[in-house]
Amino acid sequence: MKSIAVLTSGGDAPGMNACVRAVTRTALVKGLKVFGIERGYSGLVYKEYRELQRQSVSNIIQRGGTILKSSRCDEWKTPQGRAKGAKFLKELGVDGLIGIGGDGTFRGLYFFSQEHDIPVIGIPGTIDNDIYGTDFTIGYDTALNIGVDAIDKIRDTADSHERLFVVEVMGRNSGFIALNVGIGGGAEEIIIPEKEETLEEVAERLFQGRKKGKSSSIIVVAEGDEEGKSFTIANKMKRISGMDYRIVVLGHIQRGGSPTAADRNLGSLLGAEAVFGLLNGKSNVMIGLVNNQIKFSSLEESWKKRKKVDMNLLKINQFLS
């Protein structure tokens, strides 16, 4: 192996830069050339890239987002688009590709590796943490900390005005962020897509809390498929309970800012180990951290299987709140 390429794709996540840095520097130390592909799979289709040197990744470990940029690329979903990418990588002389992203990115890598003879490794980078095969994804810890910090601030005003606050956090189809932000922020209620419950039940518990002397309440809601879901929930709550409410949608604030130490370390570790993986002949795998150990698992499983949230935490929260 003489040369590798690295790209970031799909939703950006804090810690991706630490990962690009680790991939680059590890590969350079091992005597490989490194190409940074820009704007995810678009860069492969439209030949946007730069060669990365040690200094190209200086001073980025602390920066959110991704210096390589990211994009959604529909052409990559077609065999023709992927063939353009393979031709381009062959022209560059690249013999290994690392893709940092979420399950969409891994589908793209998987189909590419079925059709073309270039080894690929996926690194999980998404704030949602909803990837099977790793305990944590790059960006998740930062998103949790931003969420908890926001709740701390909201709690001050919720207390002062004795109000109900509905705080909507990100999380496509999954409640990892909501559940852990809710626990960490001491939320009274947490509503996640994995648990079906009626709003009457939630309202009843809030009523009981008020009877016991609670004057303010915070409900954390996972946006699920639809951003702004909290408006529907809050309206219904008002109809059921008559409680006045305010809504805060955290939205993209959760993706931004400097990555936490945990995300920088995870990005650095997975980036370096992914390069070793390619050098050791691994392909068509995702690298993850399971029980604090590096683990390679099938790329296909990363989206075909579903990682489960810990429902016990939800029960525990009812004791805590």
Site for ligand ADP in 5-24 (CB under 6 A): 9-11
Backbone angles phi, psi at 14, to 5 degrees: -60, 130
CB of 51: closest distance to ligand ADP in angstroms?
23
Q: Is 128 a catalytic residue?
A: yes
Q: Which is nearer to ligand ADP, 105 or 134 (CB)?
A: 105
Q: Kindly state the DSSP code that residue 127 receives in the 8-state scheme.
A: T
Burial 293-309 (b: 16+ CB within 10 A, else e): ebebbebeebbeeebeb
Q: Segment near ligand ADP (CB under 6 A), from 57-65, 73-81, 211-219, 230-238?
A: 73-81
Backbone angles phi, psi at 12, to 5 degrees: -75, 160
122 interacts with ligand ADP by CB under 6 A? no
Q: Indicate which single residue of 35, 41, 49, 165 sits in contact with ligand ADP (rule: CB under 6 A).
A: 41
Q: Which is nearer to ligand ADP, 306 or 315 (CB)?
A: 306
137 interacts with ligand ADP by CB under 6 A? no
CB of 148: closest distance to ligand ADP in angstroms?
23
Question: Exposed/middle/buried for 292, CB within 10 Å: 0-12, 13-18, 19+?
Answer: exposed
Instruction: Please give the C-alpha separations between residue 176 and each of 15, 127, 172, 236, 305, in angstroms, as whole numbers.
Output: 18, 9, 10, 24, 16
Q: Segment near ligand ADP (CB under 6 A), from 98-106, 158-166, 191-199, 228-236?
A: 98-106
Q: Kindly state the number of chain residues that form the binding site for ligand ADP, as judged by CB under 6 A.
A: 17
133 interacts with ligand ADP by CB under 6 A? no
Q: Segment near ligand ADP (CB under 6 A), from 69-77, 87-95, 193-201, 217-225?
A: 69-77
Strand order in the sheet with 97-101: 49-51, 33-37, 3-8, 97-101, 120-124, 285-290, 293-298
Site for ligand ADP in 190-209 (CB under 6 A): none
Instruction: Please give the C-alpha separations between residue 50 and each of 6, 17, 54, 57, 247, in angstroms, as whole numbers.
Output: 10, 15, 13, 12, 44
72 interacts with ligand ADP by CB under 6 A? yes
Q: Segment near ligand ADP (CB under 6 A), from 71-79, 151-159, 211-219, 280-288?
A: 71-79
Q: Please state, in angstroms and rounded to a whole number, the distance separating the CA atoms of residues 222 and 132.
A: 19
Q: Please state, in angstroms and rounded to a whole number, the distance separating the CA atoms of residues 166 and 217.
A: 8
Residue of 128, 130, 141, 263 with catalytic role: 128
Q: Indicate which single residue of 46, 111, 207, 276 sits in contact with ligand ADP (rule: CB under 6 A).
A: 111
Residue 124, helix vs strand vs coil = strand
Q: Please state, in angstroms and rounded to a whole number, the distance separating the CA atoms of residues 121 and 123.
A: 7
Closest of 160, 194, 189 to residue 176, by C-alpha: 194
In the bound state, the residue with its beta carbon closest to ligand ADP is 104
Active site residues: 128
- Which residues bind to ligand ADP, rule: CB under 6 A? 9-11, 41, 72-73, 76-77, 101-105, 107-108, 111, 126
